[in-house]
Amino acid sequence: MSSSLEMLDSSSLQTQALPQVLVVDDSRTALLHASGMIKQFGMVVFCAVDGIEALEILKSTPIDVVLTDIDMPRMDGNQLLYAILADPELRDVPVVVLSGHNDVATMVRCIELGAVDALPKPCHEVLLRARLESCLIRKRWHDEEKRAAARVATEVARSGQLVANMLPDVIAERLKAGERAIADYHPEVSILFADIVGFTPLTVERTPAELVAMLNALFSMFDVAAASLGLEKIKTVGDAYMVAAGIPTSRADHAQALAALAVEMHTLAARLAGRDDEPLRLHVGIHSGGLSAGIIGSQKFSYDVWGDTVNVASRLTDAAPVGGTLVSAATAQLLAGHYQLRDAGSALLKGRGLMQVFQVGAALAPGSELAMAPTGDLARLVPQTVDSIRATSGACSQVLGPTAESSSAPQTVSVPEPGTKLGSGVLAGASGGHQRGAA
């Protein structure tokens, strides 16, 4: 006999939509008889002389129905049936057994082993066609169920990814666990707002496509930077970008993490061109305190934050200098000894009145002289270092940088607690309200 892949009717291979039937029998006469009838049914026929050849075809060719004899050399029909049912890739292929014994007990045993049907040999044409068509309908329904399940799994994975993109992981897990009213208070958090200097004129000068491309490029860089620092992007509104540190998982360095992000954001923005092809510049504001956070919406979920801390951070952005980062005294206390800080005087914030503010410069190297907090009025800024400083030195001289008029670079200065009046030994910034310059 020729190869097991011999095609009895090659013309029937013209389309893959035709059902494909595998006939397994060690008798050439039986093969020709069964395949001749199946060919007349408009089906593609593959042949094998035993179970081993049948498995080789099954693993390389999509077969819709297997029609197999029981008594065959090397691997008989029952062994083939066992092998098909044991293979996860093949177990859904329906198997019809042909029995030459012509007794009900043998056919019943084959069905008990897992065959979907059993026919006597030689089988009648009408009976064979009815059995094959029944198997094909069953196979098609089963295949459609698998495809539907795969589509559902894909959509579930896609939805899960969308939720992960919109919500923090821990919040997404709480939603998956069935929690619906998610609202938490976080006592120690820092919030950063950033917006683009001169953005309104840009909206007039540039096309929508150019504007969206610029914002997408800028915010995508911010997203990567925020993620690398373990920060939580809250949202974007127009040209404003909002980030939080310390939610939904608390962290002691929340202010320092946002200061690091602010430095990076200014660098990233300068890579893109703004008006007159000048580098983009930002206003950045940071405030630290407590806030509430939770899930809003039922159709489109949003993880948002509320409270005075959020409002103050937003107002600080309005008051921030072009290309600079402005922080409150509360945030400055947390940054003392870690970042250069320059007293920027008092800023008039909408809804809050005058607030003492500070401009943030570069990070200080650990262990550097500038990173040491002085004693006296500033001892309250870093309580954990006071005892050690006083034990080793009766008095530490304050490190004062040049005035704002002599240098635009921020310098390290004393940072009092909120509400503390500036003493004579503290470098004072510009008096009065600090308003954003013309952008």
Q: What is the largest CA-CA distance in the chain?
A: 113
121 CB contacts (<8 Å, ≥6 apart)? 30, 69, 98, 99, 100, 102
- Fold equal for 10-148 and 169-392: no
Q: Report how far apart the first and last C-alpha atoms of the chain are (Å, whole number).
A: 88
Please name the CATH architecture into which domain 169-392 falls: 2-Layer Sandwich (3.30)
Tokens linked to 18: 């035709």
pTM for the whole thing? 0.56
Angle separating helix axes 169-176 and 125-166, nearest 10 degrees: 130
**Residue 60 CA: distances (Å) to CA of 1, 14, 57, 63, 330:** 20, 18, 5, 9, 70
Query: Which of 386, 387, 384, 410 is CA-nearest to residue 399?
Result: 410
φ/ψ (deg, to 5) at 199: -70, -40
Query: Which of 170, 185, 168 is CA-nearest to residue 226?
Result: 168
Element (H, E) at 77: helix 77-86
Question: Where are the domains positioned within the chain?
Answer: 10-148, 169-392
The fold for domain 10-148 equals: Rossmann fold (3.40.50)
**Residue 17 CA: distances (Å) to CA of 8, 13, 93, 101:** 18, 9, 17, 35
Tokens linked to 376: 């006296």
pLDDT in tens for each of the 439 residues of the chain?
444 334 434 343 344 478 999 999 988 888 888 888 989 898 999 999 999 999 999 999 999 999 988 888 888 888 898 899 899 888 889 999 887 766 677 778 878 888 888 888 888 888 888 888 888 888 888 888 888 888 888 888 787 777 667 777 788 778 777 777 888 899 999 999 999 999 999 888 889 999 999 999 999 999 999 999 999 999 999 999 999 999 999 999 999 999 999 999 999 999 988 777 788 999 999 999 999 998 887 777 788 899 999 999 999 999 999 999 999 999 999 999 999 999 999 988 988 889 999 999 999 987 665 543 433 333 333 333 333 323 333 333 333 233 333 333 444 444 444 444 333 333 233 333 333 333 4
